[in-house]
Amino acid sequence: MINTKKIWMNGKLVEHDEANIHVLSHVVHYGSSFFEGIRVYKTENGSVIFRLKEHVKRLFNSAKIYRTEIPYSVEEIEQAIIETVKANELEQGYIRPIAYRGYFELGVNPKRCPVDVAIAAWAWGAYLGEEALNNGIKVQVSTWRRPALDTLPSLAKAGGNYLSSQLIKLEALENGYEEGIALDYLGNVSEGSGENLFVVLNGKLITPNLSSSALAGITKDTVIQLAKKLGYEVVEQTIPRELLYTCDELFLTGTAAEVTPVYSVDNIKVGNGDKIITKAIQKEFFNLVQGKHELSEKYLTYVK
């Protein structure tokens, strides 16, 4: 159960149990929602929201791709997110802003249905577990592929797109893995069910480019910056499946996953088990979100 007190809905804070939508809302039937996942971290100087502006901008861009206009300004949504964190007295956890097509009429055409907005915030620890952050996880290459770029827009963080993610995740769990890695429509590496990925090979970081049908991750972008500051070369390119088996290190990134090492792929151990570069980047990431990095001032919004 999600342990939150207040949820922001269409301009006002309501009680958890009152945050309801109609069963005939367009979003329920056609997946017409656009959302973000944002982390709140506790620092020595108070709670902070990680890359708030970038997340809200992506929310609006996702809606724009689907010809949907959010009935609030960027600044109003940013402030509403801060208000929601405060109302729930959340020191550390997760924020979920979502814009969606509400109730008016049914039919694939969404245009006459209102665009509603909700924001929830609750305590949520490591997505894949604290042990995963230290020791890594077992993943499999999924039999489900990401759709081609001209079928569903991968740059939109839209609810309907995550039916694909559910299939990837369910298959992995049922087969005894913690996560699945999807290939793109050409058979190259794309992303996890809800994470971007990085391969480490000969001291260089390699990550799939945008043509791989992977989401343009905000944590991914952060990791690229951190890696470069540490002196590592980062390349965005096509990654063949077999590189997952022959790389030196492999890790996943995302708001929920943060920086999570991968121990094995299809029961093939990644490298020799060392996570030297992964751990170095992971350390820098947590320094950043705890206000102890030169990028902290740029990317952290204090909740006051």
* In contact, 232 and 208? CB cutoff 8 Å: no
Cα–Cα distance list, 204 to 112, 230, 275, 277 (Å): 50, 12, 13, 9
Q: Is 157 an active-site residue?
A: yes
3-state secondary structure of 40: strand
Catalytic residue among 5, 86, 111, 157: 157
| 193: helix, strand or coil | coil
**d(C-alpha 128, C-alpha 289), whole Å:** 18
DSSP 8-state code for residue 37: -
CA dist., res. 297 & res. 50, Å (int): 10
Q: How many CA atoms lie within 13 A of 21 on its CB side?
A: 24
For residues 179 and 193, what is the distance between their CA atoms, to the nearest angstrom? 7
DSSP 3-state of 176:
coil
Q: By the 8 A CB rule, do 190 and 236 touch?
A: no
Read off the DSSP letter of residue 270.
P
Nearest to 165 by CA among 199, 127, 130: 127
Q: Which residues are catalytic?
A: 157
